[in-house]
Amino acid sequence: MAKTNKKNRDPRWIYRFDQLKKVEKHCPTWDDVKALLGGKGANLAEMTRIGLPVPPGFIVTTEACRAYLASSAFPDGLWSQEQEALADLEEATGKRFGDPANPLLVSCRSGAKFSMPGMMDTVLNLGLNDETAAGLAKLTSDERCAWDAYRRLVQMFGRVVMGVADEPFEAVLRDARARRGVTNDADLPADDLREITRAFRTIVQRESGREFPLDPRAQLRQATEAVFRSWQGKRAQDYRKAAGIPDDLGTAVNIVAMVFGNLGNDSATGVATTRNVSTGEDQLEGDYLINAQGEDVVAGTRAVKPIAQLRSEMPAAYEELARIAALLERHYRDVQDIEFTVERSKLWMLQTRDAKRTARAAVRIAVDLANAERITREEALLRVTPDHVDFFLHPQFDPAAIKRARAEGRQIATGLNVSPGAAVGMLVFDADRAEQQARAKQAVVMIRAETKPDDVHGMLAAKGILTSRGGRTSHAALVARQFGKPAVVGIFAMEVDAEARVVTIRRPAGAPLKLAEGDWVSLDGTTGEVFAGKVDTMQPSVDDPHLIELLGWADSVRRLGVWANADYPRDAIRARELGAEGIGLCRTEHMFFEAERLPLVQRLILATTTTERDEMLAKLLPMQRADFDGLFRAMGGKPVTIRLIDPPLHEFLPRHDDVAREVTVLETRLSLHDGDATALGRELATKQALKTAIESLREENPMLGLRGVRLGIHMPELVKMQVRAIFEAACACQRDGVEVHPKIMIPLIAHTNELRLEQTMLEEVARQVMDAAGQHVEYAFGTMIEIPRAAITADQIAEDAQFFSFGTNDLTQTTFGISRDDAETGFLTEYLKKGILAENPFATLDERGVGKLMGIAIELGRKTRPDLDIGICGEHGGDPRSIDLCHRLGLDYVSCSPFRIPVARLAAAHAALRHGGKRPKKEKRRKAAKA
């Protein structure tokens, strides 16, 4: 794509903001433009084109960055092109780079195709040195501002370009503030700042072994390189991994003439979003500071003012800003996140981009824009991600528990409610520990004074985030919103001592409260409250009217059915409320684990006589019947898929290790004559018998052992009882006028003969029950496809099975030869970290492997039986990317846990929008097959 520069034969590496037309000549789409110029640069150029007040500047392309990273050197022609562009900039501004008389200052900012806020580097105020600083002071009549700009350059350049840590700089500032008795850097006088600048240069020299470059062109060149390099920084890489951004894009570099919001009280700087990005309400929101530079707003070191105040403080600038905001939202057809500076009453636009937003805001904005006919409903659907919907399903605090917590005085602080949802966890004070404890399955809340990009991995691992500083647009707030982590920031009553791992909370009355690492806290990102200890969370509610409207649109678009995995009537009821169109998986064995049933199940398994076994089955029958009765009534008329017992029997018995230990203890005591030999002997005999029984069921690889249909064949009485219970319940419901559609699912089929044998036996039971009841129930028998052999012999299996349901948990295990239980805490983590697997195949379907087997099974199955119903009931059924694959494979429905149903509804709609709903309906397939 690189164009050859006319003057020499090097590729073209640079475009000015006013050269968008040239770019578009070889970038046919806006996406291509962003890929070349980065999002920030592309938008600056676009704003320039539509006549908005953007300071002059130019963009070093992502191609230049990639060329640099490939060779670790400036590509041929880049530096000369950069100097030419600088000359253009001098001409446009009438200032000269390095000229003390009228110095041009520029910023050097990263800007990749996809926004990665704060993840890469920026250097402001390039062009300053002792001479130009003095010149600037004279020119602006603002010595303080000039020296403040200079010291910021040295500090920022030192950190970004020369790798000097912040701490020594901050120490100098701290001392200076202490000497002057001020709390804010802005209150330091010019002389102090001059001294500080000198001290900063000494620090740079001492820490990096190199001088701070006084030559502005050297500054520019080195800053450009540093921005290039920051693409490869660890935090940028971590972010990309988390956000799914490819690693090979590179960043563009924006060189922009500096404008100053800190030239006095007629200057200001701020950020705003064109709508409220927490709630989605249609009003301009943001923060600004008078007499400040942009970074001050983001850093949250000074208390910012809400944007509404600007209207009274600078009416003209506000009106202009509001006009531009509205224009940008219409222009980009989405809510914008803008940065601006007012320099001596003149408004400059420094950035615009699609605003990040909370899930709630995303839904509302999408629905509002569609209803206002600014976008289509399809676009609205695509603007909301499945994760956004998921967010509505996040736990919220139980109102009663909150009331109680407040009454108990456990509400210990409040802050800014920047990312909604409730979180409960143990405090941790750094990102590494947060990650580590989360891996150990502990719920943690990460607490920091403020977060930096280095903290992202910890934030992702935590249940929630607390910071004592920062505002709504702080790093912590942005990241939390993006990843749906509940967060409260700017809790000024808190003092975080990360070293001592203690937070001290000042309270209106009484002594300060101290919490240490490991203490439990609860936070409500929706209200901004923080509580000591655990506060109960409650089941999510999805009664948001915008969400309901959006999901209705989704339902009218999607082709995939959305069913639920539900074991109990209460789950079934919830699933229906959330939109389930059937039950795709009822795991009957879950019912066996209930307290009053487990002893019966254990006696059944250990029974040595048929009489005892029959007795236990007779006791279990009415319980199972009641279960199914409840399910049928809850789903009234919708299909209910019931899987017969699946897990190996030993799962219902005490753990072997425990019993073996008890036996050994008894044996040892007996041999040491500790206690009554007769009593011990009796006890030993009992335990020994239990141990022997458990051992007879013990397997090397239970996952691949006696379970599923194998169990049904080995011990037919149990599954016969289950089928009897199903049909007795179905007949009873039908008698009561409740429509029933039981689908009986036989798990773990590897060979068609297993299914045939089992199904024949069970259909006989079904017939007996229906005959006895004088009822006919419409039922179907089918199977899980969860073993590779079942997939590749699906044509044979479909001779008997009337439906297939992909059990993708097991299918993934067997297709990969990976035991999930072992791997997810072991080598699979290592594989994901090393990039051997791009993602966990137990979370997202492995399209290439498991997906291919599914495709084979579907093709073969429908060849035998064109009207074969095919669904999925593995956990993947609730994963959006897996749902996309299921759509493409032509499944009839996905089945997932009730709380994933709204997510699945949207994801299914996305799939239909992306790939078209071209799957022929079953009726068509049937006809096509007949033709």
Confirm or reject binding of residue 659 to its own copies (CB under 8 A). Answer: no
Shortest Å, Cβ 783 to its own copies:
13
Number of neighbouring beta carbons within 10 Å of residue 761: 15
DSSP state letters, 653-712: SPPHHHHHHHHHHHHHHHHTT-S-HHHHHHHHHHHHHHHHHHHHH--S-GGGSS-THHHH
Q: How far is the CA of 109 from the CAs of 121, 255, 445, 554, in angstroms? A: 7, 7, 33, 40
Residue 307, burial from CB neighbour count under 10 angstroms (0-12, 13-18, 19+): buried
Of the pair 124, 811, the CB lying nearest its own copies is at 811
Shortest Å, Cβ 810 to its own copies:
7
Confirm or reject binding of residue 843 to its own copies (CB under 8 A). Answer: no
Using the rule CB under 8 A, which residue among 852, 881, 922, 926 binds its own copies?
852
Shortest Å, Cβ 656 to its own copies:
8
Confirm or reject binding of residue 886 to its own copies (CB under 8 A). Answer: no
Confirm or reject binding of residue 761 to its own copies (CB under 8 A). Answer: no
**How many residues form the binding site for its own copies (CB under 8 A)?**
58
How many residues make up the chain in this entry? 931
Segment (H or E) for 603? helix 598-606
φ, ψ (nearest 5 deg) of residue 801: -70, 135
Q: Are 869 and 803 in contact (CB under 8 A)?
A: yes
Q: How far is the CA of 710 from the CAs of 614, 648, 715, in angstroms? A: 20, 9, 8
Of the pair 198, 789, the CB lying nearest its own copies is at 789
Of the pair 556, 753, the CB lying nearest its own copies is at 753
Of the pair 492, 827, the CB lying nearest its own copies is at 827
Using the rule CB under 8 A, which residue among 30, 492, 593, 827 binds its own copies?
827
Q: Which of 475, 546, 876, 887 is catalytic?
A: 475
Amino acid at 475: H
Using alpha carbons, select from 883, 852, 854, 848 the residue that is nearest to residue 870.
854
Number of neighbouring beta carbons within 10 Å of residue 448: 26
Confirm or reject binding of residue 526 to its own copies (CB under 8 A). Answer: no
Of the pair 501, 881, the CB lying nearest its own copies is at 881
Q: How far is the CA of 727 from the CAs of 35, 327, 329, 588, 734, in angstroms? A: 61, 65, 59, 14, 10
Q: Are 69 and 249 in contact (CB under 8 A)?
A: no
Instruction: Select the span of 7-15, 329-337, 481-489, 657-665 touching its own copies (CB under 8 A).
Output: 657-665
Shortest Å, Cβ 690 to its own copies:
16
Could you say which residues in the range 696-725 bind its own copies, by CB under 8 A? 699-706, 710, 713-714
Secondary-structure breakdown of the chain: helix, strand, coil percentages, each rounded to the nearest 5? 50, 15, 30
Shortest Å, Cβ 870 to its own copies:
19
Rounded CA-CA distance 111/39 in Å is: 6
Could you say which residues in the range 787-816 bind its own copies, by CB under 8 A? 787-789, 792-793, 796, 810, 813-816
Instruction: Select the span of 26-34, 276-284, 765-773, 821-829 touching its own copies (CB under 8 A).
Output: 821-829
Confirm or reject binding of residue 556 to its own copies (CB under 8 A). Answer: no
Of the pair 293, 814, the CB lying nearest its own copies is at 814
Confirm or reject binding of residue 440 to its own copies (CB under 8 A). Answer: no
Q: Are 548 and 567 in contact (CB under 8 A)?
A: no
Active site residue 873: yes
Could you say which residues in the range 662-701 bind its own copies, by CB under 8 A? 664-665, 668-669, 672, 674, 699-701
Q: How far is the CA of 11 from the CAs of 6, 22, 28, 549, in angstroms? A: 9, 14, 19, 51
CA triplet 61, 64, 70: central angle to 5 degrees?
A: 145
Using the rule CB under 8 A, which residue among 345, 376, 753, 760 binds its own copies?
753
Using the rule CB under 8 A, which residue among 186, 493, 660, 773 binds its own copies?
660
Instruction: Select the span of 378-386, 496-504, 746-754, 872-880 touching its own copies (CB under 8 A).
Output: 746-754
With both helix axes pointing from N to C terminus, report the angle between 569-577 and 610-635 in degrees, rounded to the nearest 10: 20
Active site residue 733: no
What does the CA dihedral 8, 12, 15, 20 come to, rounded to 10 degrees?
110
Of the pair 619, 756, the CB lying nearest its own copies is at 756
Of the pair 368, 662, the CB lying nearest its own copies is at 662
Of the pair 637, 826, the CB lying nearest its own copies is at 826
* Cross-strand pairs, 444: 426
Shortest Å, Cβ 803 to its own copies:
20
Shortest Å, Cβ 890 to its own copies:
19
Of the pair 385, 819, the CB lying nearest its own copies is at 819
Shortest Å, Cβ 753 to its own copies:
4
Using the rule CB under 8 A, which residue among 754, 800, 875, 892 binds its own copies?
754
Rounded CA-CA distance 446/517 in Å is: 10
Q: Which two tokens stand for residue 31?
A: 């996406």
Shortest Å, Cβ 568 to its own copies:
27
Of the pair 292, 694, the CB lying nearest its own copies is at 694
31-38: long-range contacts, CB 8 A cutoff, minimum separation 24: 32/1, 34/113, 35/62, 35/113, 35/249, 36/1, 36/61, 36/62, 36/63, 36/252, 37/61, 37/62, 37/111, 37/252, 38/62, 38/110, 38/111, 38/112, 38/113, 38/251, 38/252, 38/254
Q: Which two tokens stand for residue 834?
A: 């090393």
Confirm or reject binding of residue 836 to its own copies (CB under 8 A). Answer: yes
Shortest Å, Cβ 836 to its own copies:
4
Q: Which two tokens stand for residue 853?
A: 């087997």
Confirm or reject binding of residue 839 to its own copies (CB under 8 A). Answer: no
Question: Could you give the string, one character per residue 36-55, with x where binding to its own copies holds by CB under 8 A and - elsewhere?
Answer: --------------------
Confirm or reject binding of residue 433 to its own copies (CB under 8 A). Answer: no
Using alpha carbons, select from 336, 345, 256, 350 the residue that is nearest to residue 297.
350
Shortest Å, Cβ 847 to its own copies:
11
Instruction: Give the helix ranges, DSSP H, for 585-652.
Output: 588-592, 598-606, 610-635
Q: How far is CA 477 from the centre of its chain?
A: 14
Rounded CA-CA distance 328/344 in Å is: 23
Q: Are 4 and 10 in contact (CB under 8 A)?
A: yes
Instruction: Select the span of 369-377, 783-791, 875-883, 903-911 touching its own copies (CB under 8 A).
Output: 783-791
CA triplet 724, 730, 733: central angle to 5 degrees?
A: 140
- Say how many CA atoms lie within 13 Å of 18 toward its Cβ: 11
Q: Which of 65, 108, 873, 886 is catalytic?
A: 873
Using the rule CB under 8 A, which residue among 205, 414, 775, 819 binds its own copies?
819
φ, ψ (nearest 5 deg) of residue 198: -60, -45
Shortest Å, Cβ 787 to its own copies:
4
Could you say which residues in the range 565-624 bind its own copies, by CB under 8 A? none
Rounded CA-CA distance 802/861 in Å is: 10
Confirm or reject binding of residue 817 to its own copies (CB under 8 A). Answer: yes
Question: Could you give the string, one character per residue 216-245, with x where binding to its own copies holds by CB under 8 A and - elsewhere?
Answer: ------------------------------
Of the pair 501, 710, the CB lying nearest its own copies is at 710
Shortest Å, Cβ 916 to its own copies:
26
Of the pair 536, 651, the CB lying nearest its own copies is at 651
Q: Are 336 and 350 in contact (CB under 8 A)?
A: no
Confirm or reject binding of residue 644 to its own copies (CB under 8 A). Answer: no
How far the first Cα of the chain sits from its last, in Å, is: 51
Using the rule CB under 8 A, which residue among 170, 822, 859, 923 binds its own copies?
822
Q: Which two tokens stand for residue 205?
A: 């020299």
Q: Residues with catalytic annotation?
A: 475, 873
Provide the binding-site residues for its own copies, judged by CB under 8 A: 657, 660-661, 664-665, 668-669, 672, 674, 699-706, 710, 713-714, 748, 750-751, 753-754, 757, 786-789, 792-793, 796, 810, 813-819, 821-823, 826-827, 830-831, 834-837, 846, 848-850, 852-853
